[in-house]
Structure 1
Amino acid sequence: MTLPAWDWRLSDLAGIPHHGKTVFSCFSCGGGSTMGYKLAGYRVLGNVEIDPQMMKIYRKNHNPSHPFLMPIQEFKSIPDADLPPELFNLDILDGSPPCSVFSTAGAREDKWGGEYAFREGQAVQQLDDLFFEFLEVAEKLQPRVIVAENVKGMLIGKARGFVSLVLYRLREIGYRPQLFLLNSATMGVPQKRERLFFAASRNDLKFPRLKLEFNEPPILYGEVRQGRGKPINPESRTFQRWHRKRPPDLNMGDVTEREEGKVSNFNTILLKDQKVANTLASSSVFLRDDVPEHISDTDAIHIQTFPSDYDFMDADVQYVCGMSVPPIMMHRIAEQIHLQWLDPK
């Protein structure tokens, strides 16, 4: 029996034919993008990651040739002579600069210019500078193609000025950038995840305009649902609200607005079998609509299209998945970049 594309194993990568194109990944987290590139036949040379726990997990699952556990600022300052020569002959430099300051949740403009650490054990950084640090790495390595992923919120309100600066900087370092707002639900991923992708080709290569158009049928939560989830604490307000929900309610914010006169807990999502799952974020709460329990870890793995044999070690499954690009989403993009740009024959 042929398994659906979202149901796969890391061991399947051994059967993927390689075409020889190379990738280096920045802000790699658990390697969602890395797995997407590998599914599309690329050789991922290594990664830069600031989080010790995420690097440990990345090394366990991907065995990179050139791992760099350090902030991107330190990596860009490594003398050229001390870097592996193959990094200066890259096909793709990939990166997902941390994007929480551009999220549409909360008073995001208040966070701009501030310094934060995502979690304990990470260095404090000014997050809205990281995209430009990434572009300095691109200027240093001069890959044929740059691919960067970020949140849809970069296209909303004042953040559009930040996007303009990114596009200007890409042109300044010798690249022709394009912007794509893509929804993973149209790309074989059982999740409504809208993300902004920058794809830029080096000026001297004269590549045509890239076309990224996807129209795969939606995959409903009921098709990927599996196993039992952790029960909702019967002593909690969430449990009480869950029992007061109505069929049209999509999240606990709908319940609190109706029952308590205010909107709260809108990040506590009610997943229905007949609908596509919402964006799986590292901090969101997903509850099953028909039974008072959280989704299972297996659900999170399926929703994010992580492989079933991925070793999360001591990390929270939803955190690793939620911080990553869905592998199948990146697979679709990487495949088209190869077909249209890197090997158009």
Structure 2
Amino acid sequence: MKRPAWDWRLTDLADVPQHGRTVFSCFSCGGGSTMGYKLAGYTVLGNVEIDPQMMRIYQRNHSPRYPFLMPIQDFKSIPDAELPLELFNLDILDGSPPCSVFSMAGQREAKWGSEHHFREGQAVQRLDDLFFDFLDVAAKLQPRVIVAENVTGMIRGRARGYVSLILSRLKQIGYQPQLFHLNSATMGVPQKRERLFFIAARSDQPFSPLRLNFDEPPLLYGDIRSGSGTPIKRDKVTYKRWLRRRPSDADIGDITKRIEGRQSSFNTRLLANNKVANTLLSSSVYLRHDEPCRISNEDIVHIQTFPVDYDFMDADVQYVCGMSVPPLMMYRIAEQIHLQWFGGK
């Protein structure tokens, strides 16, 4: 019996027909985007990654030809003559600039314009500058197409000014940008993850506007659920709150608001079999609605559509998955770019 698309293995990539289009990935983390491109038949030449642990995992699973372990600022400063010629003839430059400062959680505006210590790469960085550093790389390499992913918080409130600046910069360096607000639940991913995708074609190409319309049926948590999760300790307040859950409760915060008159622990989500899983984040807690335990690592891998034979080495499974683009989400986008713009069949 044929396996569902979300239940796949890295070894399956050997059977994917190759069309020769090339990709280079920035802020690659564990390679969620990389795997999406590979599933769509692209050749991913290499990556830039600041986090040594993530680079080790990326190299173990993807064997990049040109890995660059360094900040994006250092990569963009490498003299052209010292970079592989293949990087100046790319079909796609891919990037997911770290997006913590644009998330709707917390006091995000207070983090803009200053340096902070973020988990991404265990580095002190100005994350609101990284998107423009990425565009400097695009201006340097001049790929045929640029694909950049980020959180939907960028189009809410004051952050919309950053979007305008990004679109203006893309036009300035010779590209025709489009902005897509996509939900992975419509793309064959068992997770309602909403993300923005900036997709821009170099202006010297006679491309029509890209059309991205996805309407695949939703996959429920019960469809992909497997494995055993870590039980909640019965002497903990989380367990006592979980006991008082109702079918309509989406998180522990719903319970505390009802029984304690205040909302807390909103980042402890309850996953029900008859609903699509919430966005998988690297630091939130996910509990099963009908069982007093966390979701399993198998659940996390399936929700994020990572391959079941992925080697996480010494890293936390949820952190690697939560920081990555779901491979099937990027596969759907990359497939359409190939079909609509690169003359694919």
In structure 1, what residue type is equivalent to 2:261?
G
Q: In structure 2, how many angstroms separate the alpha carbons of the residues matched to 1:121 and 1:325? A: 17
Residue 271 of structure 2 corresponds to: 271
Contact residue 118 and residue 125 of structure 2 kept, 8 A: no
Which stretch has the larger CA shift, 115-124 or 206-215? Answer: 115-124
Contact residue 183 and residue 193 of structure 2 kept, 8 A: yes
Residue 153 of structure 2 corresponds to: 153
Q: In structure 2, how many angstroms separate the alpha carbons of the residues matched to 1:120 and 1:23? A: 22
Contact residue 270 and residue 287 of structure 2 kept, 8 A: yes
- Show structure 1 runs of 4+ deviating over 6 A: none
Deviation at 1:119, TM superposition (A): 2.4
Deviation at 1:236, TM superposition (A): 1.4
C-alpha offsets along residues 38-94 of structure 1, whole Å, 9 cap, x if unaligned? 000000000000000000000000000000000000000000000010000000000
Identity %: 73
- Match of 1:150, SS state, is strand
In structure 1, what residue type is equivalent to 2:117?
A
Deviation at 1:259, TM superposition (A): 1.2
Residue 129 of structure 1 corresponds to: 129
Q: In structure 2, how many angstroms separate the alpha carbons of the residues matched to 1:286 and 1:247? A: 16
Q: In structure 2, how many angstroms separate the alpha carbons of the residues matched to 1:118 and 1:344? A: 40
Q: In structure 2, how many angstroms separate the alpha carbons of the residues matched to 1:45 and 1:110? A: 37
Deviation at 1:120, TM superposition (A): 8.3
Contact residue 24 and residue 87 of structure 1 kept, 8 A: yes
C-alpha offsets along residues 9-32 of structure 1, whole Å, 9 cap, x if unaligned? 000000001000000000000000
Residue 189 of structure 2 corresponds to: 189
Deviation at 1:114, TM superposition (A): 2.1
Q: In structure 2, how many angstroms separate the alpha carbons of the residues matched to 1:334 and 1:298? A: 26
Q: In structure 2, how many angstroms separate the alpha carbons of the residues matched to 1:308 and 1:116? A: 35
C-alpha offsets along residues 113-144 of structure 1, whole Å, 9 cap, x if unaligned? 12123228622110000000000000000000
Residue 118 of structure 1 corresponds to: 118
**Structure 2: stretches of 5+ with no match in the other structure:** none
Residue 229 of structure 1 corresponds to: 229
Matched ranges for 1:25-174 at <5 A: 25-119=25-119, 122-174=122-174
Q: In structure 2, how many angstroms separate the alpha carbons of the residues matched to 1:46 and 1:11? A: 19
In structure 2, what residue type is equivalent to 1:249?
D
Q: In structure 2, how many angstroms separate the alpha carbons of the residues matched to 1:237 and 1:112? A: 35
Please state if 1:204 is matched with 2:204.
yes
- Match of 1:204, SS state, is coil
C-alpha offsets along residues 287-318 of structure 1, whole Å, 9 cap, x if unaligned? 00001000000000000000000000000000
Contact residue 46 and residue 66 of structure 2 kept, 8 A: yes
Residue 246 of structure 2 corresponds to: 246
Contact residue 48 and residue 70 of structure 1 kept, 8 A: yes
RMSD, matched Cα: 0.9
Contact residue 190 and residue 219 of structure 1 kept, 8 A: yes
C-alpha offsets along residues 234-272 of structure 1, whole Å, 9 cap, x if unaligned? 221111111111121110110111111111111110000
Q: In structure 1, how many angstroms separate the alpha carbons of the residues matched to 2:225 and 2:335? A: 28
In structure 2, what residue type is equivalent to 1:196?
L
- Match of 2:300, SS state, is helix
Which stretch has the larger CA shift, 295-304 or 114-123? Answer: 114-123
Q: With structure 2 as the length reference, what TM-score do the two structures score?
A: 0.99
Q: In structure 2, how many angstroms separate the alpha carbons of the residues matched to 1:254 and 1:291? A: 17
How many residues are treated as equivalent by the alignment? 345
Q: In structure 2, how many angstroms separate the alpha carbons of the residues matched to 1:86 and 1:290? A: 52
- Match of 2:64, SS state, is coil
In structure 1, what residue type is equivalent to 2:329?
M
Relative to structure 1, the CA distance from residue 211 to residue 307 in structure 2 (aligned partners, 3 Å threshold; closer, same or farther) is same
Q: With structure 1 as the length reference, what TM-score do the two structures score?
A: 0.99
